[in-house]
Structure 1
Amino acid sequence: MDPKSAAVMSGAIIPQIEPVDIGLGSVEKGSTILTAKPRKKTMTSVYLKYFETATDGKSRKCKFCGQSYSIATATGNLGRHLSNRHPGYDKIGDSSNSHTPQPVTVAKKPQAQVKVPAVELDHLNWVLIKWLLVASLPTSTLTEKWLINAFKFLNPSAELWSGKKFQTVLREVFRSMQESVRLTVEQVCSKVSVTLDFWTSYEQILYMSVTCQWIDENWSFQKVLLDICHIPSPCGGSEIYYALLKVLRLYNLETKILSCTHDNSPNALHACHTLKGDMDSQKWLRFAIFRVLLTH
């Protein structure tokens, strides 16, 4: 009876000791808990190979752009990051599955990304300049943070020119267009007519546009904008006269003016009569003034 009782006792004691040992081992060695939990979470997502775990084990970093996420971030969010920020990442991943060609692909793709966006970014900045001119917005609009952040969200590699470069490019475009107009007007052999238009900005600043019209040798009507002038205060007839005379001298049109059309305002009429008096003093020149009556 004693050996049997001993066997029963040993069988009863051993099963009770083993759970205690496992429990103690799990408390004393935290590594056993950490190794058991990842097995239950099935961390075999296809997205994880595109992220590298930080040395502290608390975050993951995207291999393409370096964006960091918490280690607890769901793999679905990682997948959305890859789809939105790196379209075609799965094709890149397939080509880099083998270890030997991986250094070659990594070395070639940064070179391609340096050359291709350079042309696209220049095109983007030129489109912004066109948008700026058509919308009549100030150049400071291009330095707004919301605009830069919007393009960064669409394409992290997007880079806009600085405000000084935008101003330099705009000046070069204006001078180039002005020179093109000057060469066109110089080739006109006949007399030309000018039209004056006036308007006031939101800041109550008076502006005047000077348009030139003529009939070419093929009896075709031609028209070109010469300039848009800011009329200084007090915006009287003398200020309009000097602004108009400056434009005519810029394009060497003092001796080619046939007529001038304006909006029949007193200041514009005074400026045109002053110009007519100057031209009448030169006996070989004749000058006509046409007034346009605006009706509502």
Structure 2
Amino acid sequence: MAAWSFMSIISCFKVKCLLCHKELTYSNNTSSMLRHYRALHEHAPTTVNPQTSQISKKEMVNEALVNMIIKDSQPFSIVEDAGFRELLQVLDPTYVIPTRKALKGMVENKYRETKEKTKEQLQQVVSVSLTSDMWTSLHMDAYLAVTCHFIDEEDKLCTTLLDVQHFPKCHTAENLATGHMKIMEEWGIKDKVKCLVTDAAANMIACVRTLNVRHAICIAHALNLIVKKSFDDISSFNEIRTKCRKLVTFFRTSTTAKERLAQVQEQMGRPVLKLIIEVDTRWNSTYNMLERLFSVERTSGGSPGLSKD
């Protein structure tokens, strides 16, 4: 007997028996459902409405679709892709794929539902800590991101992203403090914030001072600054870094050079390795860049097919 003929999905992690209305934990398989049926209902008469079962299966697929969009950062337009529609048609010919607009509404409902549950959870905790950072999108739009950390009733460390809001205002301490305060008030944690972790930027430090909460400098940012300052004190090493950056930039911006590098590695019977460029905000990217250059130089064997100039 198919599990979904007597079970109804009620959330991402719970299902309900249509025969006895008992709720069971759901973890993407039907084993517990079948065990429940065999133990309690296998030899008893069943009166499950097939139409109700079909609706439950549709709700389950809708839930899975919404979760896929959220977890994999997929666009709403995926429901219009021919290959995706063909896949769902093969898996379940009876399933009616929602439109892009309908899917957007389903994701928004999921967001509101999850947000309310998280708010309720935050009301039960005594204190929280926040991490905050300003970042810029590929289109040069500024955003303020705030993440909350707390210990739940089971002594488990929990983390939830509170907001990633567009921040077109000047990044003054006053504006940043106002932005943080609005987020804290929205989530009902204004009087529960015990510490705010940020980078060492002067405006962030002044912002936390305005909020009058304990401040901690992000260890990753601090480590990056320490390493970068150490680089600056070694002129010979900086000269090597500069030359390596120019070399990597050349191969990353020239299609001909990039293809030639791959050909040489293939001719040598070695794995094709792409060059890595260092990133200012990640000190270990300098190490990765140098290590990759060294590996590529060894795998190409100083081939005459590549100029060393």
TM-score (norm 1): 0.49
Please identify the structure whose Cα radius of gyration is greater: 1
TM-score (norm 2): 0.47
